[in-house]
Amino acid sequence: MRIYPAIDLLSGKAVRLLRGDYEKVTVYSENPLELAQRFKTLGAQNLHLVDLDGAKSGSLVNFSLIAEIVRKSSLSVQVGGGIRDMQAVDRYLSAGVDRVILGTAAVTDPEFLKLALSKYGEKIAVGVDIKDGFVATHGWTKTSGEAYYDFCTRLQDLGLKTLICTDISKDGAMQGTNVELYRELSQRFSMDIIASGGVTEMEDLRLLSETKVSGAILGKSLYTGSISLKEAVDTYERS
């Protein structure tokens, strides 16, 4: 199981939102590049970056900062937030990003999703953010009318290889992750499932590893110290 430390970018800073609420922001670092480099020294091989400004606006607000992090951290980086056309996908992959995560656009523009998958294949992931059983969009500020299971079925039929799934009700709440959700997804779909939201302690990672998810994203738990990144990497990536 791969470990993905997360950096969420808002106004050039590393922040965390509580359950996706832009009004409930905690700033954890004024220097996201330095933070990424610290993750690297602790053994991280991967990095999950989200442009929160971009997720709301639909544009690549933090592109320059993300490109710098990719260039200087030498981590394998996946990026989401505001990627709504092929030009945005091209720019990120040309900047050295390993995987681009489509969120809102995967819901609202299925033709764009098909085009991205046909051109870049495994370099495209889709982020499925679940709110009350439905898929949320636009930086979690809106909810689509499509049930998450139906959406995931459609993605698999299109040939998607990597699905990043977030239970919004768990995100940033430090109350544990939705293990049953990830067990269900892993059993029903052949896509690689990356779990996100609510991973609070090492026990959560143990339970997730038993569901056979391919990865877990760690956010607030790293910033508060409730999970040691070094221990997580040593236990689940190097065992």
* Active-site annotation, residues: 8, 129
> How far is the C-alpha of 97 from the C-alpha of 56, rounded, in Å?
21
Measured CA to CA, the distance from residue 4 to residue 218 in angstroms comes to 6
Strands (DSSP E) found in the chain: 2-10, 13-18, 21-29, 46-51, 76-80, 99-102, 124-131, 134-137, 142-147, 162-167, 192-196, 215-218
Q: Is the dihedral of CA 14, 105, 18, 209 positive or negative?
A: negative
Which residue type, as a one-letter code, is found at position 49?
Answer: L
Which stretch of DSSP H or E encloses residue 208?
helix 202-210
d(CA 151, CA 223): 32
User: What are the tokens at 214?
Assistant: 């391919």
Query: Mind giving me the DSSP string for 29-66?
Result: ES-HHHHHHHHHHTT--EEEEEEHHHHHHSS-TTHHHH
- Whether 166 contacts 130, CB under 8 Å: yes
